[in-house]
Amino acid sequence: MALPVSDLTAFTQQYIVPRTTDLIFKESPLFVRMLNKRRMKFSGGTYIQRPLIYAALNGDWFAKGDPFNIAYVPTDTAFMVNVKDLYVNVTLYGTDDVLNRGDEAAFSLVETKMANASMQMAKLIATGLYQDGQSAVAAPFTGALSGSKSLDGLLAYVDDGNSSASYSTATDSTKSFLAVAGLTRTDLFAVAPSFSSAVTPISAVAGANSFTNRAFNAFNLPDVNTAYGASWFGRDYVDMICTTQTGWNRFWNAIQPNQRYMDEKSDVGQIGFPSLRFNMAQVVVDKYIPSDGTNGVMLGLNTNYAEFYISTNPKFQFGFTGFKEAQNTIDIAGQFLFAGNLVYANPRCAFKMVGTSLL
């Protein structure tokens, strides 16, 4: 008969290495940039409303005796987004508190669960930054599109509102968004732009429209440079390009060795995220850019216009509710909470490339 404990294991303790290794979570350079440099606070309100100038006043050269055009001109509007709420739950069995303590506990089960919760919170927000926040999909939001409970993300902000039915009804990364943050894109034009292909005509890069290339299936730097130039307005230019690992690899292969400038002095470079320099932008890999399985996504951002709003309520700025006992048990549960949203205030100063070359 086989005994459950041998003579060796009866007298020999296990050695548990007093550290653990994360095999699931990743880190996002965009999320780091948002928290470190683009974090905005709001104290309350039913919406987050971000004013915008979309039209110019009347004005012209004149000669003596010429009349002025004094007609009133509507010039201002606003992005308006809901406050989005997020939780991460930590549940502990009450009986485990008897077992995971003293010299026999290599490390605290509570501490590992808390560390896991903070990483899960970062993962959910970093993923949400790249999604759309308005599609009719059910949670969990693991693909490119996300339901309305998630952040109003960059996939919707950085878009041209291409009215082609094949894009406006798409269910993947090629989807176009006719409206964003409460505004219909065509309302910002006197004459709505027309689209004849998957690439935004330069004349349509205005208002809340970004340059978008939905057929970026053969990677080449001239096409990326075209997108970069289309998003450049004087002192406003793309300063961060977020892409997939494949996108980074193709950048690396396309740039000549003597042109490969590693940017180690930037805020993300100093904390360990490698970045290449392309024109005046950092090129970074973000493992949290969602994939639809067919197309990859590259986003060129002017992060001066990326505003990450977080509530000033301490409980909702990654605060912990505290552990509470579940009814009729000795088990306990507590939640980390977040309330806020993303606003990208100037979509014309951004670009989006979508295609098989980035997957």
Q: Where are the domains of the chain?
A: 29-56+75-197+212-358
Evaluated on CA atoms 288, 290, 293, 294, the torsion sign reads negative
CATH number listed for the domain at residues 29-56+75-197+212-358:
3.90.1690
In angstroms, the Cα distances linking 325 to 34, 115, 310 are 35, 21, 29
pLDDT of residue 62: 98
Give helix 29-37 / helix 109-130 axis angle, nearest 10°: 90
Query: What single letter denotes the amino acid at residue 184?
Result: T
Residue 305 pLDDT exceeds 50:
yes
Quote the CA–CA distance of 270 and 51 in Å, as a whole number.
34
Encode pLDDT of 220-248 as tens digits: 999 999 999 999 999 999 999 999 999 99
Q: Is the distance from CB of 324 to CB of 91 less than 8 angstroms?
A: no
**Tokens 């690899």 label which residue?**
249
CA quadruple 165, 171, 173, 178: dihedral sign: positive
Is the pLDDT confidence value at 113 over 80?
yes
- Residue 255: per-residue pLDDT: 86
Asked if the model's pLDDT at residue 271 lies above 50, the reply is no
Output 209 or 18, whichever has higher pLDDT.
209
Asked if the model's pLDDT at residue 268 lies above 90, the reply is no
79 close to 307: Cβ distance less than 8 angstroms: no
**Percentage of the chain with pLDDT > 70?**
89
pTM over 0.85: yes
Q: Indicate the pLDDT class of residue 97, thresholds 50, 70 and 90.
A: confident
- Tokens 């289309």 identify what position? 230
Separation of alpha carbons 351 and 330, rounded Å: 53
